[in-house]
Structure 1
Amino acid sequence: MEQFQYIETDLVVRLSHGDEAAFAAVYELYSRRIYYFAYRFLKNKEQSEEIVSESFLNLWVNREKLDASYPIGPYLYTMARRQTLNVLRSIATSKAAQEKLWLWFNEAHNETEEAILVADLERFSEESIIKLPQQQQQVFRLSRRDGLSYDEIAERLDISRNTVKNHLVRAVKTLRVQLSRSHLSIFLLIAFLLQKK
């Protein structure tokens, strides 16, 4: 986990100074994810590839403004989201279609963003998760990795819904303490996950 953060911080510093090799490494790390993010909404290969190109062009143009203390992934996803939304808006011709599109996009984006955030949280915090008590680990994984609701977890583990909630709240609090020296993004991810239910 720390090694990944060190590598990403190093890449951001080098990129901000115009290092093309660092830019290529960031592209290798995130381009496929950005492509699938855009494709989930656009269902169009060329448009999704264009979103990737625009996102990375934007990243290169604004490289000097990058802050090495923040991860680069959320920055790229934010740019990709804006560009994807602009493409979708240009497709919608009537006001009603635009309103419908906006509602659908926000719903779909929240699901996709949550999946991305959960994936990032798992990557950064797996070592902390395995330190949790066994039942907290199990509840946390069923909720955040498998996407089960409190009721589904309660039924599967043969415990009450309230017990599920308590285990999840305790797990998130423990992770917050264990990750207190980690990247700021981890706190944002945990806060997001805590608000989910």
Structure 2
Amino acid sequence: MKTLAEFPDTDLVLRLKAGHEPAFREVFELHFRRLYNFSFRFLKNRAQAEEIVNDAFLSLWVNRGKLNPDLLLLPYLYTIARRLALNTLRDIATSQKAMDGLWNQMEKLSNETEEMVLLNDLEQFTENAVLRLPAQQQLVFRMSRYEGLSYDEIAERLNISRNTVKNHLIAALKTLRNHFDGSDISYFMLLWTFFFK
């Protein structure tokens, strides 16, 4: 035996199709709670569930001319609510993914900016220290660390012995280490800047 809910809403649908607002209000009062509970199970958010139900009823009203009087309204409304809830879930997921991506990008840019500022400060501090070296040590240091030349290449360019190049570089590094030890910047940072660039 069929229950009342299983009989087609023929009279109600015909009145709805004719634009009869009391019929729409009747459908709304009859099915709002069920659609709300259905939507809430999807979204777990009261405001969003209510918005889904309101949008489902709006869609019903806008498309009332297409209704089939021989079919039940509730399954039709469930289908609309389900589609809207799934769209909302997809939008939330996309929005969350976009926010996560934006946050990661901002974090990356922030880290890069911070590293760039620190590196610039370190380079400026190092350059000030290098400028205090004797001229020959300064020249050897720059050729070795900035130009990447070997001891032999520096010796050939400056017309000095390989041993002299080595001694100048050792003295320069010792002076720089003392300069860095006297500051808040560690000698390791100096080495990192020049050897791992």
Q: TM-score, normalised by structure 2?
A: 0.45
Q: TM-score, normalised by structure 1?
A: 0.45
